[in-house]
Amino acid sequence: MDRDPFLSRRRFIGKLGAVTGAMALGGAGAAEAFTATSTGGRAPAPKTPAEALRILQAGNKRYRHEKLTLRDYSPVGERRASEQKPFAAIITCSDSRISPELVFDVERGNIFVSRVAGNGIDNGTLGSTEYAIAVLGVKLVLVLGHSDCGAIKSAIATVAEGKTYPSSKYGAIGDVIEPLLPTVESLPADERTLARCVPANAIAQAQDIARRGPIVAPAIQSGAIDVVAGVYNIANGAVSIFRLPA
Ligand SMILES: [Zn+2]
């Protein structure tokens, strides 16, 4: 393994050269979405939740079309190590095939990500997202499910087979599956497919966190943030966004 960060960076940039060349010709929309910070980083600074969503969607479009913005992934240095100004909070699955910064073509410091298998709302994802809203001032919360989700498969099987997860055998795995069950159970038996349950779960979890006080719900009511759901298609990289019913 190459431990020289400068050498590694050159090699990485070299590999990206082909796609960033295309970016320079076709990515004019990306430039306006970012402003330089006082400490040398680049941070999107949306003024509204709608603008924050547009930045994520534009980044996902670049990702899908292999026009990723050239980024420096070497250590950020002392000046940038002491601040973060994320513009969106994302709650997503722990699945190893999801890399949120890549999927939305943003860089470190831009998005505040909480992960748990099945992207359910538990005290960890809730508290982390509340912190992102109240302290870091994010404008958008996205609950992001994904295709081929193993946790949702487990939830479907749990409901279908009446399976249980005693902690003596499964540790805390049942605690991860449990928040996913009500959505599966709410669907007619013949609709409990992965394709149906993944978006249904993302929407249900987004609705769940949107109702939570004392931070999330008031922030929505004041217009400071919005909460949306999404599904990431691992195969083609596309993120579909679902707005919550009013
Ligand atoms: Zn998953």
Q: What is the pLDDT of residues 162-173, one digit of tens each?
A: 999 999 999 999
Q: How far is the CA of 171 from the centre of ligand 1 (A)?
A: 19
Burial, 173: exposed, middle or buried (Cβ in 10 Å; 0-12, 13-18, 19+)?
Answer: middle
Q: How far is the CA of 234 from the centre of ligand 1 (A)?
A: 11
Q: How far is the CA of 147 from the centre of ligand 1 (A)?
A: 8
Is residue 130 within 8 A of residue 151, CB to CB? The reply is no
Q: How far is the CA of 77 from the centre of ligand 1 (A)?
A: 33
Q: How far is the CA of 179 from the centre of ligand 1 (A)?
A: 13
pTM of the full structure: 0.83
Q: How far is the CA of 116 from the centre of ligand 1 (A)?
A: 8
Q: What is the pLDDT of residue 42?
A: 65
Q: What b-and-e string marks burial along 90-115, b requiring 16 or more CB atoms within 10 Å of the CB? A: bbbbebeebebbebbbbbebbbbbbb
Distances (CA, A) of 196 to 47, 65, 185, 242, 244: 34, 26, 12, 13, 16
Cα–Cα dist 228/237, whole Å: 18
- The better pLDDT of the pair 82, 36 is held by 82
Least confident of 66-70, 100-104, 204-208: 66-70
- The better pLDDT of the pair 203, 15 is held by 203
DSSP 139-180: SEEEEEEETT-HHHHHHHHHHHHT----HHHHTTHHHHHGGG
Q: What is the pLDDT of residues 175-222, one digit of tens each?
A: 999 999 999 999 999 999 999 999 999 999 999 999 999 999 999 999
For 111: left if phi > 0, alpha if psi spans -120 to 50, otherwise beta; the answer is beta
Q: What is the pLDDT of residues 25-60, one digit of tens each?
A: 333 343 344 555 444 556 899 999 999 999 999 999
Distances (CA, A) of 158 to 81, 154, 155, 178: 44, 6, 5, 9
Q: What b-and-e string marks burial along 29-55, b requiring 16 or more CB atoms within 10 Å of the CB? A: ebeebbeeeebebbbbebeebeebbbb
Cα–Cα dist 209/48, whole Å: 19
CATH fold of the domain at 5-243: Beta-carbonic Anhydrase; Chain A (3.40.1050)
Q: What is the pLDDT of residue 76?
A: 73
Burial, 149: exposed, middle or buried (Cβ in 10 Å; 0-12, 13-18, 19+)?
Answer: buried
Q: Is the dihedral of CA 75, 80, 81, 84 positive or negative?
A: negative
